[in-house]
Structure 1
Amino acid sequence: MNRPILYSFRRCPYAIRGRLAIAQSGVEVELREIVLRDKPEHMLDISPKGTVPVLLLPDGTVIDESLDIMHWALAQNDSDNWLEADRNQIDQLIKENDHEFKCWLDKYKYSDRHPEHSQTYYRNKCELWLVQLEELLNQNRESLVAGGKSLADYALLPFIRQFAHVDLDWFNAADFPHVQSWLSDFKESDLFLGVMKKYKPWKESQELIVFPE
């Protein structure tokens, strides 16, 4: 195995953040796109929890947390200085996003599975996070942390994208101009477009896919 193997699912925000860091670093991996309802046995063998992304290194090391994959990739090459900003602030933003906002986001997106409250109720809970991001983006000139785009931006943007696409008309009309601009710039960037290319689900017999292309 000459390259690391990355198991991924195109739309998963955790997988997107992993691919973003790998693409930014320029480190080549073998990309294996999966189908969530039919996960490859090899992926489950190396990471029984069955979530993506999963990165298998040539030495047999398995990295199956998205942030750990981001840090691994950036340790190889961080030419855009994603890790140069205030690490404490970066870590705190990601922690709040992953452990608080994501819970409300899941209930907002799948409100039919959580009938104890309305979808609007869950969206209002999500909005509290967007208010904080709006203030930071205004304060730091379109990045979450002073000094330009950092790991915090690229770790959070896939989740804000997921939130926006639950009801895109509502999001586009909401009073979050800095968040909207931040997300729009991200979605139009070469980096994002590059990591969102569509691939057929991986099979052992198919030709190897090298990522980034």
Structure 2
Amino acid sequence: MNTLYSFRRCPYAMRARLALRYSGVPLRIVEVSLKAKPAEMLALSPKGTVPVLSIDGRGVDGRVIDESLDIMRWALAQHDPQDWLLQDDEPARQQIEALIAENDQVFKLHLNRYKYAERYPEHSMEHYRAQGEVFLRRLEALLNERPYLLADHPSLADMALAPFVRQFAHVDREWFAQTPYRNLQRWLQRFLDSELFIQVMAKP
């Protein structure tokens, strides 16, 4: 059995669970306490961050994947029934890469400072939020064209980004609700209401 070491509210672990569930990969999920990480997880991945996927030994020699995006790609390589990878659209696939890179390398940094502004007293919470809004505006513009970021159905970009946008929106829900990002609000609510999200967020 494949085993995923996860933390329910972590957006990186969340997006790994989304792809694994969607692709139908048989899976045992171990919910990790970040204050008491299990020894078996640390033996597989000494860096000690979730998610960590231990793939059973049939044909892959007990492979371990400990980056969320790599886990998503591995899962989609097993089964991708709704074409999250947008296989036949090379420009869209390049956009997937660019959006995820901006999310992971830039937006996540602003998100951390916005959510934990007291740890970063150099600037105000509003300052960090404004920096994060640059990315929100980019997503809002993409959603002017269609219900999802790059296609008329979810893609890897939607599922890789949504857990982070959710976290940003939930820092101050009243603020997010009154923003002009109407397309983004609908997109996020569609994600939160989806059967897939509800399944992967069920408490163990």
Q: Note whether the superposition's TM-score is higher than 0.5.
A: yes
Match of 1:204 in 2: none
SS of residue paired to 2:123: coil
1:113 to 114, 119, 122: 119
- Structure with the larger RCO, 1 or 2 (CA within 8 Å, 6+ apart): 1
1:175 to 174, 180, 183: 180
Match of 2:128 in 1: 122
Match of 1:4 in 2: 2
SS of residue paired to 1:123: helix
Match of 1:203 in 2: none
SS of residue paired to 1:30: strand
2: CA distance between counterparts of 1:138 and 1:150? 16
1:22 to 20, 23, 45: 20
2: CA distance between counterparts of 1:130 and 1:91? 17
State how 1:96-111 maps to structure 2 within 5 Å.
Answer: 96-111=102-117
2: CA distance between counterparts of 1:35 and 1:166? 22
- 1:34 maps to 2:29: no
The CA deviation string for residues 34-65 of structure 1, in whole angstroms up to 9 with x for no partner, is: 11111001101110111110000112211000
The CA deviation string for residues 132-187 of structure 1, in whole angstroms up to 9 with x for no partner, is: 00000112x12111343200000000000000010011001111000000000100
Give how far 1:21 is off: 0.3
1:88 to 88, 94, 100: 94
Unaligned runs of 5+ in 2: none
| Structure 1 moving runs of 4+ over 2 Å | none
Match of 1:76 in 2: 78
SS of residue paired to 2:29: strand
Give how far 1:190 is off: 0.3
Letter in 2 for 1:104: H
1: CA distance between counterparts of 2:11 and 2:4? 15
State how 1:54-73 maps to structure 2 within 5 Å.
Answer: 54-59=52-57, 60-73=62-75
Point out the more displaced range, 83-92 or 18-27: 83-92
2:150 to 137, 145, 148: 145
1: CA distance between counterparts of 2:76 and 2:203? 24
SS of residue paired to 1:138: coil
Point out the more displaced range, 76-85 or 108-117: 76-85
1: CA distance between counterparts of 2:76 and 2:151? 19
Letter in 2 for 1:151: L
How many residue pairs match? The answer is: 196
Q: Alpha carbon RMSD of aligned pairs, Å? A: 0.8
Give how far 1:27 is off: 1.0
SS of residue paired to 2:143: helix
Match of 2:196 in 1: 191
